[in-house]
């Protein structure tokens, strides 16, 4: 009886929050009906903890309500395990609750089939999972809420299952939450998984940061009144100033990068300042810099240039009182909610605005949201990679590894894997640009095509008509998309060449060079050593930092051409060679 009352109370909390969000009474009635259906369906089941099963769907529904989602998502949260774990079928759901809720429950049920074991390449299922992402993100949000509650109660699960679930959380769900911009969920999922995956590291970190955390916390508590006082002199009255400790797992990763030296981490605790509007964000930044010296390179304007996942804030690290480095994060209330709830923050707003008498908030177009470039990308990948192994490989590299974010000359942000080169960039912009890439400028300076890009770089690709990709590019490209396109393009080029070989083989060599005295002489020497007839040599210098040498030769066979190119590449100063049939 007691338990029943507790559950009814959680339901009432959900209904209360829904009412506050602006949901109509009819929506609340639907949720009540759903709750009864789910309770009945699960009535003979218990959680591993011994509690009645319904506590789990209730916890999931409550989380979705807190994210201010629509009634269909909350209802599907309550029903999400009924098809998987009870006698109820998807048709029962459809009959009782309609197509949309049935669709969401079906999506979650499908995701439940996925088992990531870390070593296995469960490609087909992962592909399904990501197609579900592209189809409707609400399915993923239900699954994230489901996973979060399961992680919170993971202690009750059999030991051998713990690690697998935790690893899946770390490798699949946390990165997904990050991509959806739900930073808070990402951090929580990682921290929940951390002790199961790295138990020793986790307890080491807890022991070794305890004092440091305490010191920092006390320091920030002393600092906040000082900051408030100084702000008021400037006429600034923030909505909220609070200290925010770094999540354990992200701290662990940061420590790994700093030789596990806790003294080198200056943002164990950041001061978060929430203000009225964007103007106040910059005024506040100015006030902080007036008081304390900022550390160069640590001022980040994510308001002017948001992160690709939508995150906005101003960050700065200053030498604060007592000589302590201190990070400030300055944002508006709206930005704060976005950072906590990701893209769902926008849906929630739009639902509030469109809450019509008919009460049909529209979620159509979510998957087609142009801002979610990666959703588009997933769809593209699915088309390109018919082989599941290859598809998984592309996801692993392009989706889960660390990312860098670079700019096109027009200021668009492209999301690339760490270590990506101008060639990866070029192919991501367009395959024609990749195929015809002849050189690259990064931050207005010429760089080689295998240059390692860093976040914040402005990348410009110099193209050349009729150029073809170079086999060597395969040695350094990081994205599977680029690799695939290079291979395809080279194959097409070879076929073209094979055809041309029958009719004659006059070839134009185009050499990108760094000029030096004697270079041209060395080049002609290599050509005559190969007993190849050189018909003409010209150079193009217009709009170029270095000249392009164009040589007309005639060769009898493809191998002899390949051999020549191989030798020419070894000549000091020859950067890149392309050829076309004249």
Residues with catalytic function: 84-85
Closest approach of Mn ion to the CB of residue 188, in Å: 17
Stretch that binds Mn ion, among 11-19, 142-150, 190-198, 231-239 (CB under 5 A): 142-150
- Comparing CB distances to Mn ion, the nearer of 56 and 247 is 56
Closest CA to 582 of 510, 490, 505: 505
- Comparing CB distances to Mn ion, the nearer of 79 and 511 is 79
Token readout for 303 is 């308001």
Closest approach of Mn ion to the CB of residue 227, in Å: 44
- Taking the alpha carbons of 487, 488, 489, 492 in that order, is the dihedral positive or negative? positive
Does the footprint of Mn ion cover residue 146 (CB under 5 A)?
yes
548-571 burial, b if ≥16 CB within 10 A, otherwise e? bbebebebeeeeebeebbebbeeb
Stretch that binds Mn ion, among 145-153, 243-251, 317-325, 461-469 (CB under 5 A): 145-153
- Comparing CB distances to Mn ion, the nearer of 54 and 482 is 54
Residues 285-344 close enough to bind Mn ion by CB under 5 A = none
Binding mask 100-139 for Mn ion (x = CB under 5 A): ----------------------------------------
* Calculated CA dihedral for residues 9, 14, 16, 21, nearest 10 degrees: 170
- Comparing CB distances to Mn ion, the nearer of 162 and 346 is 162
Q: Are 516 and 573 in contact (CB under 8 A)?
A: yes
Closest approach of Mn ion to the CB of residue 125, in Å: 17
In whole angstroms, give the CA distance from residue 338 to residue 346: 8
Closest approach of Mn ion to the CB of residue 366, in Å: 22
- The side-by-side arrangement of strands in the sheet containing 445-447 is 445-447, 437-442, 459-463
Residues 53-82 close enough to bind Mn ion by CB under 5 A = 81
In whole angstroms, give the CA distance from residue 461 to residue 416: 15
Residues 505-544 close enough to bind Mn ion by CB under 5 A = none
Closest approach of Mn ion to the CB of residue 340, in Å: 23
Contacts of residue 115, defined as CB under 8 A and 6 or more positions apart, other chains included, come to: 122, 125, 164, 168
- Comparing CB distances to Mn ion, the nearer of 52 and 434 is 52
- Comparing CB distances to Mn ion, the nearer of 146 and 351 is 146
578 burial via Cβ count (<10 Å: 0-12, 13-18, 19+): buried
Closest approach of Mn ion to the CB of residue 485, in Å: 40
Closest approach of Mn ion to the CB of residue 80, in Å: 6
Binding mask 382-401 for Mn ion (x = CB under 5 A): --------------------
Residue 513's beta-bridge partner residues?
Answer: 574
- Comparing CB distances to Mn ion, the nearer of 52 and 469 is 52
* Residue that the structure tokens 């190849």 belong to: 532
Q: How many residues bind Mn ion (CB under 5 A)?
A: 2
Q: CB nearest Mn ion: which residue?
A: 146
Closest CA to 141 of 63, 250, 202: 63
Closest approach of Mn ion to the CB of residue 85, in Å: 8
| Residues 141, 144, 150: CA angle, nearest 5 degrees | 145
Q: Tell me the HSE value of 496 on the side-chain side, using a 13 A CA sphere.
A: 13
In whole angstroms, give the CA distance from residue 423 to residue 442: 12
Number of Cβ atoms within 10 Å of the Cβ of 529: 10
- Comparing CB distances to Mn ion, the nearer of 136 and 146 is 146
* Residue that the structure tokens 């040589």 belong to: 551
* Residue that the structure tokens 């998957």 belong to: 367
Residues forming contacts to Mn ion in the complex (CB under 5 A) are 81, 146
């Amino acid at each position: 009886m007691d338990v029943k009352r507790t559950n009814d109370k959680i339901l009432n909390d959900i209904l209360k929050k829904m009412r506050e969000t602006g949901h109509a009474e009819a929506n609340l009635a639907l949720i009540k009906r759903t709750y009864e259906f789910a309770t009945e369906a699960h009535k003979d089941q218990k959680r591993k903890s011994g509690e009645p099963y319904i506590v789990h769907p209730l916890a999931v529904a409550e989380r979705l309500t807190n994210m201010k989602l629509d009634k269909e998502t909350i209802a599907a949260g309550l029903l999400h395990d009924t098809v998987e774990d009870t006698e109820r079928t998807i048709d029962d759901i459809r009959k009782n609750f309609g197509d949309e809720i049935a669709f969401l429950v079906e999506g979650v049920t499908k995701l439940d089939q996925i088992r990531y074991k870390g070593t296995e390449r469960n490609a087909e299922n992962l592909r399904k999972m990501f197609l579900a992402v592209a189809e409707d993100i609400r399915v993923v949000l239900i699954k994230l809420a489901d996973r979060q509650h399961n992680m919170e109660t993971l202690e009750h699960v059999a030991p051998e299952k713990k690690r697998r679930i935790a690893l899946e959380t770390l490798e699949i769900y946390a990165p997904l939450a990050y991509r959806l911009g739900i930073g808070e969920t990402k951090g929580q999922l990682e921290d929940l998984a951390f002790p199961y995956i790295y138990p020793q590291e986790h307890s080491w970190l807890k022991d070794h940061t305890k004092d440091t955390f305490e010191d920092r916390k006390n320091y920030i508590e002393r600092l906040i009144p000082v900051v408030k006082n100084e702000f008021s002199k400037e006429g600034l009255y923030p909505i909220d100033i609070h200290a925010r400790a770094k999540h354990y797992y992200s701290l662990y990763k940061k420590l790994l990068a700093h030789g596990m030296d806790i003294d080198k981490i200056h943002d164990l605790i950041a001061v978060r300042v929430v203000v009225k509007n964007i103007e106040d964000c910059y005024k506040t930044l100015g006030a902080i810099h007036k008081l304390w010296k900022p550390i160069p390179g640590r001022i980040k304007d994510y308001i002017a240039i948001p992160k690709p996942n939508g995150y906005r804030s101003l960050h700065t690290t200053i030498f604060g009182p007592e000589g302590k480095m201190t990070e400030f994060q300055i944002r508006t209330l709206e930005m704060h909610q976005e950072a906590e709830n990701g893209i769902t923050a926008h849906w929630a707003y739009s639902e509030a605005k469109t809450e019509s008498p008919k009460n049909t908030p529209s979620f159509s177009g979510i998957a087609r949201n142009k801002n979610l470039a990666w959703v588009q990308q997933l769809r593209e990948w699915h088309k390109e990679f018919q082989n599941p192994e290859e598809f998984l490989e592309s996801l692993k590299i392009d989706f889960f590894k660390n990312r860098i974010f670079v700019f096109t000359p027009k200021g668009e942000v492209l999301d690339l894997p760490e270590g990506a080169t101008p060639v990866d960039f070029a192919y991501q912009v367009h395959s024609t640009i990749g195929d015809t890439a002849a050189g690259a400028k990064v931050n207005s300076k010429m760089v080689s095509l295998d240059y390692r890009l860093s976040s914040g770089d402005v990348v410009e690709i110099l193209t050349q008509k009729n150029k073809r990709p170079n086999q060597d590019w395969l040695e350094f490209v990081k994205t599977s998309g680029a690799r695939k396109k290079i291979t395809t393009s080279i194959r097409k080029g070879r076929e073209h060449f094979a055809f041309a070989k029958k009719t004659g083989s006059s070839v134009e060599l185009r050499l990108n060079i760094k000029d030096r005295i004697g270079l041209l002489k060395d080049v002609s020497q290599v050509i005559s050593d190969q007993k190849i007839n050189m018909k003409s040599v010209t150079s193009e210098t217009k709009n170029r930092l270095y000249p392009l040498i164009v040589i007309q030769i005639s060769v009898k066979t493809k191998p002899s051409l390949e051999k020549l190119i191989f030798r020419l590449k070894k000549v000091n100063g020859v950067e890149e060679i392309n050829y076309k049939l004249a």
